[in-house]
């Protein structure tokens, strides 16, 4: 393996907790922080084989760290843990590397990159795709914005939990690429939902329909991994509708700032709002099918 580094991880939610586990298992010296200390303590108890230090503030986490990673909720959360009075950038050392895995606006990603430049810190905005399963299996894809030297400095740590690391452009480009991803897969889910309900209404054998169409032009990750679970009304997976609405809001805001029309994305965002109104906010995004009434089933 690479030389062990002093790595601090902030934000131990579904995705962050799994990523941090891989970092510790790779042999790096791990320090953790969570704004809810009890969650960090529970994470330590659930990973007794790892040698982990828990600290009380982002500033303390960043002291002496070679690499600091964040995976929090939204722009405000990120600004607080990075730029706040006791944030990462109040103590991070010159030459260290900062990696953000939160899905946030390109604006704050660029703001943090400017602050990092002034501190002589490598900075990467690095949202991920692959979902909870990808995080747990160490098979995430990371879309990285920032300077090439920053991505190379971050790579030895990111390789512990990824299958693909792509440098997509300058600061903020990682976040805008994530928006592209969310726009694209939301459309796939919307039409997959309609196709499934159409097949049910036609009293088709849904297993045979999948066999017939999954090897052709309509094949997708969502079809391969969610067709059966959508048939079964099973939506207990990693990426919740609430988080998707946050991400769609970011994409729609960015589209407005770029002067780009996103009518389909805006419509699907409202479809997700309907699922929230049905009580599905914490369900997987494939719960989009719930908004369509079931007319029949083979």
Q: Which residues are catalytic?
A: 178
HSE of 210, CA atoms in CB hemisphere, 13 A: 17
* E strand or H helix at 29: strand 29-33
Contact assessment for residue 31 and residue 9, using Cβ atoms and an 8 Å cutoff: yes
Contact assessment for residue 23 and residue 114, using Cβ atoms and an 8 Å cutoff: no
How many CB atoms sit inside 10 A of residue 79's CB?
16
Tokens 């200390």 — which residue? Answer: 37
Contact assessment for residue 108 and residue 78, using Cβ atoms and an 8 Å cutoff: yes
| Residue among 236, 231, 245, 225 nearest 200 (CA) | 231
Bridge partners, residue 124, by sequence: 99
| Residue among 151, 149, 154, 141 nearest 67 (CA) | 154
Residues 6 or more apart whose Cβ sits within 8 Å of residue 163: 130, 134, 138, 139, 140, 141
| Residue among 25, 23, 8 nearest 159 (CA) | 23
> Alpha-carbon distance 154 to 40, whole Å?
23
Contact assessment for residue 28 and residue 7, using Cβ atoms and an 8 Å cutoff: yes
> Alpha-carbon distance 23 to 50, whole Å?
10
> Alpha-carbon distance 78 to 102, whole Å?
8
């Amino acid at each position: 393996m690479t030389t062990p580094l002093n790595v601090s991880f902030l934000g131990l939610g579904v995705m962050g907790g799994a990523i941090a586990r891989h970092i510790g298992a790779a042999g790096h010296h791990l320090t953790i922080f969570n704004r809810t200390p009890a969650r960090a303590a529970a994470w330590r108890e659930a990973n007794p084989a790892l040698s982990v230090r828990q600290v009380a503030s982002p500033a303390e986490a960043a002291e002496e760290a070679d690499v600091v990673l964040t995976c929090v909720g939204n722009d405000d959360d990120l600004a607080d843990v990075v730029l706040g009075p006791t944030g990462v950038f109040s103590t991070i050392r010159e030459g260290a590397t900062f990696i953000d895995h939160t899905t946030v606006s390109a604006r704050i990603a660029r703001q943090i990159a400017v602050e990092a430049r002034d501190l002589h810190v490598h900075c990467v905005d690095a949202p991920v795709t692959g979902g909870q399963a990808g995080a747990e299996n160490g098979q995430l894809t990371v879309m990285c914005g920032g300077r090439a030297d920053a991505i190379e400095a971050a790579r030895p740590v990111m390789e512990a939990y990824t299958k693909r690391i792509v440098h997509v452009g300058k600061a903020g480009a990682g976040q805008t690429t994530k928006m592209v991803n969310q726009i694209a897969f939301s459309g796939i889910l919307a039409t997959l939902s309609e196709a499934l309900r159409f097949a049910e209404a036609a009293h088709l054998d849904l297993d045979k329909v999948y066999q017939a169409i999954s090897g052709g032009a309509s094949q997708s990750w969502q079809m391969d991994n969610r067709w059966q679970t959508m048939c079964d009304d099973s939506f207990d997976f990693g990426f919740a509708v609430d988080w998707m609405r946050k991400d769609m809001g970011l994409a729609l805001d960015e589209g407005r700032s770029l002067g780009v029309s996103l009518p389909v994305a805006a419509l699907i965002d409202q479809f997700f709002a309907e699922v929230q109104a049905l009580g599905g906010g914490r369900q997987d995004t494939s719960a989009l099918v719930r908004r369509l009434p079931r007319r029949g089933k083979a």
